[in-house]
Amino acid sequence: MPEYKAGELYLVADEKGYQVAKVLAVEPGIVHIRLYKNAFQERPSEIDLEKLELGRIDDPDGFGMGHVPLKPETFSGWGPELFMVGTVQPEELDGYNVWKGSNGGVWG
> Cα(15)–Cα(1) distance, rounded to whole angstroms?
24
Q: Would you say residue 102 has pLDDT above 90?
A: yes
- Residue 73 covered by a domain: yes
Higher pLDDT, 26 or 108: 26
- Does the pTM surpass 0.85? The reply is yes
Domain contains 2? no
Q: For residue range 9-33, what is the model confidence (pLDDT) as tens digits?
A: 999 998 779 999 999 999 999 999 9
Residue 55, in any domain of the structure = yes
Number of domains present in the structure of the chain: 1
Q: What is the DSSP annotation of 39-80? A: -BSS--S---GGG-----TT-TT---EEEEEE-HHHHHHT--
The answer to whether position 81 is within a domain reads yes
Structural domain containing residue 70:
8-101
| pLDDT at residue 55, rounded to an integer | 87
In a domain, 1, yes or no: no
